[in-house]
Amino acid sequence: MECSALQQARYKYQPKLPVILRGDINNISLRLGSPTTSVADAEALADIFKQNFGKPVAQFVPGKNSKTSRKLTVGVILSGGQAPGGHNVIAGLYDGLKKGNADSELLGFRGGPSGLLENRALELSGAIIDEYRNTGGFDIIGSGRTKIETDEQFAAALATARKRGLDAVVIIGGDDSNTNAALLAEYFLAQGSSIQVIGCPKTIDGDLKNEHIEASFGFDTAVKTYSELIGNIERDAASARKYWHFIKLMGRSASHIALECALQTQPNICLISEEVEAKKMSLALIVDDICASISKRAENKDNFGVVLIPEGLIEFIPEMKKLINELNDSMAENAGEFSLITNFIDQIYWLDLHISKESADIFKSLPPEIGAQLLADRDPHGNVQVSRIDTEKLLVGMVQKRLGDLEKAGAYSGKFSGLAHFFGYEGRCAFPSNFDADYCYSLGFSAFVLIASGLTGYISSVRNLAESADKWIPCGVPLTMMMNLERRHGSSKPVIKKALVELDGEPFKAFAGKRAEWSVKTSFLFPGAIQYYGPPEVCDQPAKTLKLEHSAREKQAPAR
């Protein structure tokens, strides 16, 4: 295969491991803690997960472990959207298996969970693995978004696992995928099968984290990629001095990406969806706040700037959230009737009869192209696809109109020219940063140890990530420990709780303490491209939010 010089060099990079994973594979034992509970809804979840609920956290400790050298056959699945480092999870899992027993086998199920259901698998050899080490993407076996949720699907998964002679299945995915892993582990045990299921935490959105999962893999690389692009735009803005750049950043439910990019690049404005919802900020108020910054900068002849916008912002604005919920419900309840209406004007008349007057008035006030996007095809959950809504363009248009009104009133005399951008797919398959390359390899290696030790219904975890890799702490966390119940499709479903930006957390407070200054004074930072070779303080640094969160935990920890 022809490849670039950087790709060839990255193949040879040896990821760093925590100390306990570096030595004799037969000298890694597990220490099990006390029984655990869930984030919420413990009684109901205990009833759903009769086999797995309450399992203890598994700490890795030195000690003889004869199980790690047995021959194993393991299947691995990539589930959901891509995230940098997925290949290294598979490489770490493969190397752990082969270090334990050279005859162990790793099968990669093609195309995500559907590969398990349809028995489409590839035996992953050393030669195949070596072509993907330390590279981005999920192309080694592909991914998919199929959910294993029906009785027939669970039965098909077990049939394939038995036919392939699997000892375990590793599911690499986000909160929904790991919820699926927990349900699969429960089903296997309920059917009398000893086939284990282990999860790995993946999502660039950063919302799969908690007390035991400090970061989801891919987040570090994605935010560094986006921050490079934002810094480049900031440099251009400061050079041209005539454009305001409105940049939407991937992250549907949480604003972790936007917050981290703000800390890395210091834009003039960064909107945080969770704050918008907490303060019940209307769309008009958001526009007024942006215009206030533009006006103040214009007084200093700074008719340029940068605004960061989380992808999911529109669903956190109270009146827009109400509108979207009403649209989702009415379109779902009358799907057949609505599908027959293809003309946008006729759709507006139809909405007048099916949603509240308040929501209908808001809908009519939006630019037609935004209205059409709100009415576009729903995702598999019946929700609007926010990535397809041009929130950045909506804000540019509304800000321009508001500034025009202010100019007519003599309250604004600057020059405004807005440009819109959306950074999403650019970060999902980038070459993983050293942090993600190391972290993912450690997650995969740790998944092997959990499998070899006989555990099921766990997620591979590596903690203490703000320190150097040798000080990282691998462990296994029961998947049920992170769960609660949520309403999905009209009924309560077990799901891993998403982590949103905490407005009383150290990362947000650090941002909030500086944003008033950034909104007026040009304070841009230019992170530059991800560096792979050089001093650790340049190449191996974790995200700023991770370091701030770690520092806060250190302060709160009781003295030893």
For residues 375 and 560, give the distance between their C-alpha atoms in angstroms, rounded to a whole number: 57
Which tokens in the block code for residue 18? 């925590």
C-alpha to C-alpha distance for 286 and 395, rounded to whole angstroms: 9
Q: Is 334 within 8 Å of 313 (Cβ atoms)?
A: no
For residues 423 and 248, what is the distance between their CA atoms, to the nearest angstrom?
6
Give the three-class secondary structure for 74: strand
Residue 238, φ and ψ in degrees, nearest 5: -70, -25
For residue 228, which of 540, 432, 529 has the smallest C-alpha distance?
529
Q: Of 91, 15, 135, which Cα lies nearest the Cα of 431?
A: 135
Q: Which residues contact 497 (CB under 8 A, 6 or more apart)?
A: 39, 40, 175, 210, 482, 483, 484
User: Is the four-CA dihedral 443, 11, 139, 72 of positive or negative sign?
Assistant: negative
Q: What is the three-state SS of 424-442?
A: CHHHCCCCCCHHHHHHHHH
Cα distance between residue 245 and residue 32, in whole Å: 52
User: To 10 degrees, the CA torsion angle through 262, 265, 266, 269?
Assistant: -50
Handedness of CA 537, 539, 542, 548 (dihedral sign): positive
Between strands 244-249 and 418-423, the pairing is: parallel
Residue written as tokens 């649209």?
327
List the structure tokens of 68.
């790690």
Indicate if the alpha-carbon torsion angle 221, 224, 226, 228 is positive or negative: negative
Is 205 tagged catalytic? Answer: yes
Q: What type of residue is 248?
A: K
Distance CA 272, CA 270 (A): 6
H/E stretch holding 244: strand 244-249
Strand 168-173 versus strand 73-78 pairing type: parallel
Q: Contact, 129 vs 158, CB < 8 A?
A: no
> What are the angstrom distances between the C-alpha of 395 and each of 258, 309, 371?
16, 10, 14
Count Cα atoms within 13 angstroms, Cβ side, for 29. 9
Burial class of residue 489 in the structure, from the number of CB atoms within 10 Å of its CB (0-12 exposed, 13-18 middle, 19+ buried): exposed
- Catalytic member of 95, 175, 176, 205: 205
Distance CA 508, CA 515 (A): 10
From residue 397, alpha-carbon distances to 57, 276, 403, 552 in Å are 51, 20, 10, 40
DSSP state letter for 217: B
User: Which residues are part of the catalytic machinery?
Assistant: 205
